[in-house]
Amino acid sequence: MRGLSLVELMIGLAIGLVLSLGMVTMITGTSRGFRDIDESARMQEGAADALRYIGDSVRLAGFYGFAGAQTTQVELPQPVPNAGQEVDTQADCGSAGNPPQVNWALPTDAQATPIRGGANIAVADVNGLYPCILETNFVGGTVLVTRGATGVRVVDPTPLTDLQDAPLVPDTMYVQADPLRGAILFRGGTARLATLRAAGQVRTTVDGLNPAVDAPLFEYSAHVYYVRPCSRPLNPPGCTANDDAGRPIPTLVRQQLQGRTMVEVPLVQGVERIGILYGIDNDGDGRAETQALLPGAADWANVVSVRVAVLMRSLTPNSTFNDAGKRYDLTGGNAAAFTCNPVVVNECQFQRRVFVQSFQVRNVAGRRGAL
């Protein structure tokens, strides 16, 4: 009457163990479910960011200010006639294998179209094609290039007059255009603008109240998108297997023109691959009739849309998940599908999703549709 028998004690312990096991199982399942949902949400957020970055660049590609319907290139004027060209870049992405070799980032000839790219590029070949991209910072595959001005207009401290007092940053590239004479690209600094004005190169426009005022100025931009095998290099600039705490995280990065130099900027973690299909306008109506993984040399100027697919990968592996044997097609069968390599430790234990969005190259499509 004062205690428990051995049988009763054992039964109580057994019931307690069963209840504890059920509680642990429930907590483990809830934790795993939360982790899976959290990883899926992170992949969706990362894909949205990646597509937004790329989409913004594609939409602005070919924008050179208030240019005419047929303006697809810009001029590099000589501030002093017959004195040579002073506009150039430093640490450019151009090469003999990816012409033009000099001033590749600047849209000055038929090769420097607003949209360009590469597909199925081997890691060993990328630096020869794009010298600004290190082999250690490239996973292989796709490179996307966009060129054009930003959509932010340079503020004129004295409205409706000339832009002589505009805050132009030295060595930064600017675009100015009018519908009749097209666009010019020049380096910042008020002295340079004054020299261009003396040479009759400054573009003007008419607003109805103040005829022949200076045309708006926009900062020029060049972007090169690709996937880097790590997020934070321990010893910049190159990636190694020791980065990101020994588990390198593939990251969408871009080279962007800062001043006169191409600089690598990380954008979104977890982007494992990107796939691009280019929509080509064959009849001049501004709409794409065909798609290509890699347009011919004469077709780059006719690219009016870009279909972007991003393969997102979870940031941490899951020991209970196996991705081996799954194929991720980013280009509709135009290039080999991605599969994880089971030989690489943990590579097939990451969750993956493909996200796709198409973007119009508005400035090119709009011009062609207006002709």
Q: How many residues does the chain have?
A: 371
**Both tokens assigned to 2:** 């004062």
**pLDDT tens column, 107-144:** 666 556 889 999 999 999 999 889 899 999 999 999 99
Position 10 in a domain: no
State pLDDT tens for residues 32-71: 666 677 888 899 999 999 999 999 999 999 888 877 655 5
Confidence at residue 159, expressed as pLDDT on a 0 to 100 scale: 66
- For residue 293, the model assigns a pLDDT of 96
| pLDDT at site 183 | 83
Note whether residue 17 is domain-resident: no
> What whole-number distance in Å separates Cα of residue 11 and Cα of residue 13?
5
Mean pLDDT of all residues belonging to the chain: 85
pTM: 0.87
Instruction: Please give the Cα distance from 58 to 162 (Å, whole number).
Output: 31
The answer to whether residue 2 scores a pLDDT higher than 70 is: no
Tell me what percent of the residues of the chain surpass a pLDDT of 70: 85
72 domain residue, yes or no: yes
Q: What is the mean pLDDT of residues 170-179?
A: 85
**Is 159 a domain residue?**
yes
| pLDDT score for 57 | 96
Q: Tell me if 116 is assigned to some domain.
A: yes
Q: Which residues contact 11 (CB under 8 A, 6 or more apart)?
A: none
pLDDT for 209: 57
Domain count, the chain: 1
In-domain check, residue 8:
no
pLDDT in tens, 330-370: 999 999 999 999 998 899 999 999 999 999 999 888 887 65
| pLDDT above 90 for 269 | yes
Query: Contact 39/155 with Cβ under 8 angstroms?
Result: no
The percent of residues in the chain predicted with pLDDT above 90, rounded, is 43
Per-residue model confidence as pLDDT tens digits over 199-220: 888 888 765 555 678 888 899 9
Residue-range definition of the domain harbouring residue 95: 41-370
| Locus of tokens 């004479």 | 181
pLDDT band at 79 (very low <50, low <70, confident <90, very high): low
pLDDT top residue among 94 and 245: 245
In a domain, 36, yes or no: no
